[in-house]
Chains A and B, each alone.
Chain A
């Protein structure tokens, strides 16, 4: 963890307690997770108790308190995708990766999440891998696509 970079982020937001969420989002974007040392720094600098930071990081879905895999899979389970069979796609993705939503595999290859709507409902069911949208999925196509990632 780059302590100087974390400090830079905190200072960029004026070191204010009101900016806690914005600071945590920037750290999350930078490191893809929130290591405890980073949170301790934020707590000290902003003079916000670590317990409140813990409350905040577990309340909002954007934050991860464990390291994430090399590839982030987000299976859309928004309503439009759901009625078009997203749960079948999700199940196959779970089987192939061996992980449940919210988990990362032991090799740190994939992290799996469900997302509530990617807003490209015309392509449903959709998943995104590393911010790339993959649409009009059926279970076996989703399984095939996962083979392209190392």
Chain B
């Protein structure tokens, strides 16, 4: 393929690709994102390839391995066009039927469709599934339509037309102005206005400038950026090219964490294809604009998501943040003006250029425009990626899209903003989700992690978990962060292990204040959030741990004991067989007893004890009763099997 040399050539190529792919031609799209691959999507794709050949449809049906559409809970996901028929949790054994019934006979297979849990009503089309229906999927909506390793798929949807528009019809100033007017704010967590950032880098003196994609997505439980990197890498490159043109950069980097092998692969392929088509290189689309991009693998350090640390890491050094100013816009990579934006921020750029700042600004609230992708995980029925306009309430996200809490459990809180974010309790579920409202509620937007917690989650343990994470990831350069977080972690560990004492809460608050105000970078400055927000909303849980040595969620194992109620035990052997520490003694006719010394409190016995007996009980803050004397442990069974649940001791 010879490189394209003008916007007109690009448009001709696009029309050619579209005419090749007739809309009536049957197409099977299978999500090949990391989540679906983990549940066997690769085997499903292979099964389609074989089955289509065996059933004589080779050449007539196209099979596509696409990006992630977000409904990870029900993967592997298959969408069949024309008609957008969406099948969920597809296994290789379902494939022969799909090929014969749906592709050949054009009938729908009911059992593979989405079914509403309460009404049992089925949804055929992807867009009718409540999980999708309540979203506004400007960015990830395209993932299921694109084979990320095929640039033609992106071009067919109008890909690189925003770049062509910018290069042929807009000045650099106009581009910066348009992005500024749209109200786009950084999606990586800072929420800084993108237009202002670009303007600063554009106006910074210097010939050599750099643009960087920050794809060092490190928040545990957050994978929005990965879905875009894996699923639609060209959209990021197109945004980066537009930014480079606006700022005056000739070189760019994509900084991807090496824990994302598929993202690295797809971004690498996308760069090679873009070079081949002439979107990267010299004299791009005949405009005289030159731009090259390289991939840099991150080696596993959370703090490298911070821009000054990321820059050092790009230079081959340990990523320890430095104080700002000077900001990277004036002194960045190799000391040159540098503009760094997050993956999702870059992916929004082509949309804004193509559809206009006003189109973008129609979504969202006064201070936060556009849509935001959230990774909805934890104790939620529909785990997955959710793209909604800013301003939607947390309640809508959790209940309308996420379908609430599984297992009949009670909602407790949503944790947003990553490790340094905060927890939002039930009474604030109606706040509109945007940068400012979340900060006001003591949490933050962060990069978009949204972890739902239920009654089984201990809030003191959640705070300890995040502080432990931050303690491990603190680079150690400044002492308030290095020492402050370590001390908070020590106190929280004491509390969760039953060694909490009066005054601990106040000491935590004091340490949080100091760490938050005196640390060098955002990691330390926001580290108090998980502690302060849980104290603010769940103080009673802290007090129960400290004063009564009770964990109300039965989650802190040092405060919990497992005990088998001799009156209820049916000596069924189940817990004994599955105990992971050989702590349970008993026999077919002997009541089971847990040796408290050996028990590792893994909770397996509690989980497996049949509900008709419910013999295993959890205790917290109280003494474990003495085990029944040996002589009383014999279970006399009645002959009739129907009465297996009843027993007599003697």
Contact = CB atoms under 8 A, between A and B. Distances in A.
Interface of A: 16-22, 24-25, 52, 55-56, 59-63, 77-85, 88, 91-92, 95, 115-124, 126, 133, 135, 138-140, 143
Contact of B221 (A20, A52, A79, A143): A79
A121 B72 contact: yes
Contacts of B475: 59
7 contacts: A17-B316, A59-B475, A60-B299, A80-B220, A83-B451, A92-B602, A121-B375
B415 interface: yes
B602 A56 contact: no
Contact of A79 (B34, B75, B259, B451): B451
Contacts of B383: 80, 121-122, 124
B378 interface: yes
Contacts of B299: 21, 24-25, 60-63
B35 interface: yes
Interface in B272-327: 296-297, 299-302, 313-319
B308 to A, nearest CB: 15
Closest 4 CB pairs of A and B: A61-B300, A78-B220, A60-B299, A80-B377
Given A55-B318, A79-B449, A121-B72, A22 B296 contact: yes
A42 B399 CA distance: 54
Given A79-B415, A88-B602, A21 B313 contact: yes
Given A91-B602, A133-B38, A135-B39, A83 B580 contact: no
B259 A115 contact: yes
A133 B419 CA distance: 24
A116 B315 CA distance: 25
Interface residues of B, number: 56
Contacts, number: 140
Interface in B611-627: none
B222 interface: yes
B638 to A, nearest CB: 30
Contact of B465 (A55, A82, A124): A82
A22 B317 CA distance: 11
B581 interface: yes
Identify which of B38, B301, B466 gathers the most chain A CB atoms within 10 Å of its CB. B38
A59 B304 CA distance: 11
Interface string B16-29: 00000000000000
Contacts of A88: 602-603
B218 interface: yes
B578 interface: yes
Contacts of A116: 218, 220, 302, 469
B250 interface: no
